[in-house]
Chain A
Amino acid sequence: MEKFGAVVRRYHLGPLIGLVILVIILSLLSPQFFTFGNLRNVALQTSVNALLAVGMTFVILTAGIDLSVGSSLALTAALSAGLMVAHVNPWVAALAALAAGAVAGFLNGVFVAYARLAPFIVTLGTMQLFRGLTEVYTNGNPIFNLPSSFSHFGTGLLLAIPLPVWVTAVVFGVVWVVLNKSVFGRRIYAIGGNETVAHLAGVPVKRYVVLVYVISGVLAALAGIVLTSRLGSAEPTAGTGYELDAITAVVLGGTSLFGGEGTILGTLIGALILGVIDNGLNLLNVNSFYQDAVKGLIILAAIMLDRKKSTGR
């Protein structure tokens, strides 16, 4: 048992064990759960939160937080939908959304790194700012009648797997390499571990912090593109509360909110846990009044499985 615990801790297996237990329980409770069609749905439904959570992982690894991702998602989605309705090529419009996401992230990063304001406060402010700009831009109305070629991106399949799932998988792959095999990745961990030491060791901390928020903003825009193409419309309320789901996924995945410690695979597993819970509760037709409570309990249980690691520090 002791040895098993050590293995769990060394390879951060807590979240994975939590996910596996959840999948087993749901498979027993619902005959529809463990079917290819349903698991494909879970993957598709998880993709938006997973993309946001990847960006959030970068930010949290540097001991920051990005509360603005849900609003950035809404703003960039609205911008690209507006361009498409104005007959701009959908891919150009999508690129414009990614660029706008980068600008939004840059703004956050500059406030955090150069004005030296607390990330929580900065992104709390920009969360409101971006939501307000979204409302101004959309006049509070959804933007719809988007071109069908764009909708195909959110709904189409490649080798029986939805395109957004491929996109999410590629992003995770790239990020895994960056975080584990590159100088950039090592320095991100170093900044989160101890910013002063990282600075003294020659890491351009400020530039890196800005870059981290830019990554978060771009991924929020990418999540917005996925969501908009799935819905065929951009909503002024899109992404409301998504920042909390993204943070939950990161924390469930074992990343420390104090920075410097965590893995991208953990984040993927965290996002999948959330997706599986939502899906399972729907399949079981759990009374709406109990859903939030049940979800909260499962999240607490999953974190408990990971408890030894954090208390050991």
Chain B
Amino acid sequence: MKNWKTLAAVGAISAGLIAGCGTTPAANSSGNSSTGAGNTATNSAGGSSASTSGSYTIGFAVSTTNNPFFVAMENGVKQEAQKLGVKVIVDNGNNDPSTQLNQVQDLIQQKVNAILLNPTDSQALSSAVTAANQANIPVITLDRSVNSGKVAAFIASDSVQAGKMAADELIKALKGKGNVVELQGIMGSSAEIDREKGFDQEIATAPGIHVVARQTAKFDRSTALNVMQNILQAHPDINGVFAQNDEMALGALKAIQQAGKSNIAIVGIDGEEEAVQDVQKGLLYADIAQQPTQEGVLGVDNALKLIKGQSVQSTISSPLQLVEKGSSFTGF
């Protein structure tokens, strides 16, 4: 008998918690205009605003929402959808390919008019795209693409180009001479491979620059702090750091500051707000900014074209922007 009471209490607590989670984003959107703008475009609130322009629904399967980059992408999608009066269903894949596969299948079941897919994994999500193809639902991939299946358009920044631009900045900062450390992202991810490729090609044009250490910090700030601290022990004489994303650039910056060094040029990629601020403060040398919000906007625009039977380009490049001290980029 007592056990039943406990179980009932547990049930009540969890129901309360779930209800609590459900209401929090709504509370955000009314209380905070800067972050809340996107929330009103979700399926629950979309009904009222969608009445103006037909009743199209786009499914957006995003890889994760615990990373500012993808949060910005999601905001871009929601804002553009709200502007155009399109309903959006957002599914967060939590970086898990199988979760995301299920979510895309659910979107197909809900008979959405188009799917925007930001795949967690290029191989695993191929079958999701094939399934959408069979259901005649057009798919646009954002930021990463898939290995097989028919994709109507692929929208992304050019990661090889981003690596090249970062290398150019370091060459400029070091005047063509010095020792450089490369902090790598999650090994084997397409961003890691392509950014490294572009960086290596370009840095090779400056024979006076030596890459003395390459270590992975998994795109993660706290890992980068520790890894950079360790590298500084082995290489006290470094002049530059190329971090394959901003999170690692910011972690490396902390390690360098805490080691009491100031003449090390750090270049990151992404355009996160904090990194952009640190470029302005002169703490980071430069940042190669992507524009994920813009990727989301382009995704919705092109999805609507497809729904209306218009043709779109198969590869659409989202612009990169060099952020230097004094430039006006505001982060995503």
Binding site for B on A (CB under 8 A): 30, 32, 35, 37-38, 41, 44-45, 48, 111, 114-116, 129, 131-136, 139-142, 144, 155, 227, 230-233, 235-238, 240, 278-279, 282-285, 287-289, 291
Are B229's CB and A41's CB within 8 A? yes
Binding site for A on B (CB under 8 A): 3, 6-7, 10, 17, 21, 24-25, 28, 35, 65-68, 70-71, 184, 187, 213-216, 220-222, 225-227, 229-231, 233-234, 247, 250-251, 254, 258, 272-274
Quote the shortest CB–CB distance from A199 to chain B (angstroms).
Answer: 16
Q: Contacts A115-B7, A144-B274, A236-B66: A282 and B230 contacting too (C-beta < 8 A)? A: yes
A131 cross-chain contacts in B, Cβ below 8 A = 66
Partner of B6, one of A115, A133, A227, A235: A115
Bound complex: CA A173 to CA B28 (Å): 44
Are A155's CB and B258's CB within 8 A? yes
- Where chain B touches its partner, the secondary structure class is helix
Partner of A279, one of B66, B68, B213, B230: B230
Bound complex: CA A276 to CA B214 (Å): 19
Are B187's CB and A289's CB within 8 A? yes
Are A231's CB and B21's CB within 8 A? no
Are A142's CB and B68's CB within 8 A? yes
29 contacts between A and B (CB under 8 A): A30-B234, A32-B234, A37-B233, A41-B229, A45-B226, A115-B6, A129-B17, A134-B66, A135-B65, A140-B71, A141-B273, A231-B222, A231-B251, A233-B250, A237-B66, A240-B220, A278-B226, A282-B226, A282-B227, A282-B230, A282-B234, A283-B230, A285-B215, A285-B234, A287-B214, A288-B187, A288-B215, A288-B216, A291-B216
Bound complex: CA A142 to CA B226 (Å): 18
Are B21's CB and A133's CB within 8 A? yes
Are A235's CB and B222's CB within 8 A? yes
Quote the shortest CB–CB distance from A159 to chain B (angstroms).
Answer: 17
A115 cross-chain contacts in B, Cβ below 8 A = 6-7, 10
Look across to chain B and name the residue whose beta carbon is closest to the beta carbon of A138.
Answer: B66
B247 cross-chain contacts in A, Cβ below 8 A = 142, 235
Are B225's CB and A231's CB within 8 A? yes
Bound complex: CA A266 to CA B128 (Å): 48
Are B233's CB and A38's CB within 8 A? yes
Q: Contacts A140-B70, A238-B222, A288-B187: A35 and B233 contacting too (C-beta < 8 A)? A: yes
Look across to chain A and name the residue whose beta carbon is closest to the beta carbon of B216.
Answer: A288
Quote the shortest CB–CB distance from B124 to chain A (angstroms).
Answer: 20
B254 cross-chain contacts in A, Cβ below 8 A = 230-232
Quote the shortest CB–CB distance from B47 to chain A (angstroms).
Answer: 23
Quote the shortest CB–CB distance from B20 to chain A (angstroms).
Answer: 9
Are A111's CB and B230's CB within 8 A? no
B225 cross-chain contacts in A, Cβ below 8 A = 230-231
A282 cross-chain contacts in B, Cβ below 8 A = 215, 226-227, 230-231, 234
A237 cross-chain contacts in B, Cβ below 8 A = 66-67, 220
Centre residue among B7, B66, B225, B227 by max chain A CB count within 10 A: B66
Bound complex: CA A238 to CA B3 (Å): 36
Bound complex: CA A114 to CA B4 (Å): 11
Bound complex: CA A155 to CA B66 (Å): 26
Quote the shortest CB–CB distance from B279 to chain A (angstroms).
Answer: 14
Quote the shortest CB–CB distance from B292 to chain A (angstroms).
Answer: 12
Are A136's CB and B226's CB within 8 A? no
Are A231's CB and B221's CB within 8 A? yes
Are B230's CB and A41's CB within 8 A? yes
A288 cross-chain contacts in B, Cβ below 8 A = 184, 187, 214-216
Bound complex: CA A285 to CA B24 (Å): 45
Look across to chain A and name the residue whose beta carbon is closest to the beta carbon of B219.
Answer: A237
Centre residue among A132, A134, A141, A233 by max chain B CB count within 10 A: A141
